[in-house]
Every structure is written in structure tokens, then in C-alpha cells.
């Protein structure tokens, strides 16, 4: 068996592009530092709304194929080599936004049996043996059914993996501290006249915003800002990047965060305010 890197990080996301928006700088930093960074994406994102007019003909399987290509390009820009789809490519389909007819598709991720889906993730866990897992909170950050289901599957897989023989020492949820978000949106409003976006989002549009006191961990990814921006831009069907800002299909500008924030929900704090996801884990320093 090939010897594993000392630090191993697993991220569980719903669709291609979620990883770069939420964790791009973190992924690039740990990959550059020699950690094994593994990404599991739960769907191909077939129901995503396409931004560029020249690509709006892409739907269903065609869009899935394009988003898979975009994901590979994004991972190359982040320096991440280990990535794949939960249960294999196409096992679970994009569920669409909450309350739409796509939620009723028996093949969509929202309708998946949580334990069955979690067992697919356990297979990855037992191969990679990560000490750290990152995913969404129980609201999926902003209420998308696939994000909520990714949370459920990831947390259940942590339990099942422990029963099977591998304990993930630390589990984090993606977060944005409210004060940081407010400052970033204030800068956005000042910069908006010079951007290709006509309107700005509001802070409540950003997934995972919480009171600052709930933030346990801050990962400084400013050295990897260009890598994160490039990875996000690789998801061209979904994201329009302009400097320190970006917009999704709603065309509302929002800040691109290069310092990324987390809430430790399982495991022991390695320090008072962590600056390393592996802080306190024996043998990873």
C-alpha cells in the first residue's frame, strides 16, 4: 500500500462549483502543503442555471458533462488530484431548488436513502482515512435540498465509518462570520460602479453566515487567492468572476472570500482560535 500523507482532508459537496466557492483557498493551501485533499461531489449539477448565453443550450446530460469538465479544470487550478462523485458518476441526480418538481425525481439526491448514500462515502473514508471532514450545516448553508442531503450523508458516514474502523477526528461546517461579511459587502457597494455587475446581493444571500462567536477556525488562504479565483472561473456555466467579486446566475455581485471560515462541530479544539484544520491532531504537525 502506498504510504499516505500525514494530513488527509475530505470535503463533501453537493454540486460542481460548491467546492471552489466555499473552500477553494483552503483546498489549494493544503494541497500545496502536501496534504491529501479529497473531494466527493454528490451530483453532476444537471439542474444548474447556465450564465453564458452561448452555453444556455446545455441542459440535463449535456450540462452534466460540461460541469464535470469544469470540475476537473477547477481541481487542476487548485492542485487537487483526488476527486470524484458519490457512488460513481451519475448515481445521484441534481434535485433542483427546494419546492420544484425536480425534488420528486426518484433518482435525485434528495430522494436517496441516507444510509445507502452514506455507505458509498464510507468506502472513500476507509480508503483515504481522513482526519478531517468539511461539509455544510444542517440547513445546507442556504436550504438547497442537495446541500441539506450532503450534510446528512456526510454526518451519517462519519458515524458509520467509526463503527467500521476509522474515526474522523474533526468535522467542520462551512461558515462566514457576520462581521466579516458586513465589511466585505460594504467594500462591494463602494466598488460596484466599476464592476460588470449592476446589482449586489445582500449578506443573507451568502450561505452559512453566523454570529462571529460560532467561528472556531480561520484559514488564511490569501496566498492562494489567484488559485481560488481561477478555480471559480473554471466553472463558467455557473460563476462569473470579476476580481475580488463574483456573481451566480442571479447576476448579483458578492464578495469572493480568500480567508475561509469554519465551525468545529465534532472533535477537540487544537487551539483557542484555530488557524489550521489539523490543529491538535497527533502526528499531523
How many angstroms separate the first and last alpha carbons of the chain? 23
CA triple 256-257-260, angle to 5 deg: 150
Residue 161 has, within 13 A of its CA and on its CB side, a CA count of: 26
Whether residue 15 is annotated as binding a ligand: the answer is yes
- Residue given cell 460594504 in the structure block: 186
Residues 6 or more apart in contact with residue 183 via CB below 8 angstroms: none
Q: Work out the number of other CB atoms within 10 angstroms of the CB of residue 226.
A: 12
| Residue 93 · residue 103 · CB < 8 Å | no
Helix (H) or strand (E) segment spanning residue 39: strand 36-41
For residues 97 and 152, what is the distance between their CA atoms, to the nearest angstrom? 17
| Residue 46 · residue 108 · CB < 8 Å | no
Whether residue 107 is annotated as binding a ligand: the answer is no
CA dist 35 to 41, 130, 247, Å?
19, 10, 30
Residues 6 or more apart in contact with residue 226 via CB below 8 angstroms: none
For residues 201 and 276, what is the distance between their CA atoms, to the nearest angstrom? 30
- Residues contributing to the annotated binding site: 15, 18, 147
- Residues contributing to the annotated binding site for Zn(2+): 15, 18, 147
Amino acid at each position: 500500500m502506498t504510504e499516505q500523507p500525514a494530513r488527509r482532508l475530505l470535503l463533501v459537496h453537493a454540486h460542481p462549483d460548491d467546492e471552489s466557492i466555499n473552500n477553494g483557498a483552503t483546498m489549494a493551501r493544503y494541497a500545496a502543503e502536501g496534504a491529501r485533499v479529497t473531494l466527493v461531489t454528490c451530483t453532476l449539477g444537471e439542474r444548474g442555471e447556465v450564465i453564458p448565453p452561448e452555453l444556455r443550450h446545455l441542459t440535463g446530460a449535456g450540462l452534466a458533462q460540461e460541469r464535470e469538465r469544469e470540475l476537473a479544470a477547477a481541481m487542476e487550478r487548485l492542485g487537487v488530484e483526488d476527486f470524484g462523485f458519490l457512488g460513481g458518476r451519475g448515481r445521484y441526480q441534481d434535485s433542483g431548488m427546494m419546492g420544484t418538481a425536480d425534488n420528486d425525481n426518484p433518482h435525485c439526491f434528495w430522494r436517496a436513502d441516507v444510509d445507502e448514500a452514506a455507505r458509498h462515502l464510507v468506502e472513500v473514508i476507509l480508503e483515504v482515512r481522513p482526519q478531517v471532514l468539511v461539509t455544510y450545516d444542517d440547513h445546507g448553508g442556504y436550504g438547497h435540498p442537495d446541500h441539506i442531503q450532503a450534510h446528512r450523508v456526510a454526518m451519517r458516514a462519519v458515524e458509520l465509518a467509526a463503527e467500521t474502523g476509522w474515526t474522523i477526528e474533526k468535522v467542520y461546517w462551512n461558515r462566514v462570520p457576520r462581521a466579516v461579511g458586513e465589511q466585505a459587502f460594504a467594500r462591494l457597494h463602494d466598488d460596484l460602479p466599476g464592476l460588470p455587475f449592476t446589482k449586489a446581493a445582500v449578506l443573507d444571500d451568502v450561505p452559512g453566515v453566523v454570529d462571529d462567536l460560532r467561528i472556531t477556525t480561520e484559514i488564511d488562504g490569501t496566498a492562494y487567492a489567484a488559485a481560488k479565483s481561477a478555480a471559480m472561473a473554471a466553472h463558467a456555466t455557473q460563476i462569473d468572476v470579476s476580481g475580488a467579486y463574483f456573481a451566480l446566475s442571479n447576476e448579483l455581485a458578492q464578495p469572493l472570500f480568500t480567508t475561509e471560515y469554519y465551525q468545529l462541530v465534532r472533535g477537540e479544539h487544537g487551539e483557542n482560535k484555530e488557524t489550521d484544520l489539523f490543529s491538535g491532531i497527533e502526528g499531523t504537525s
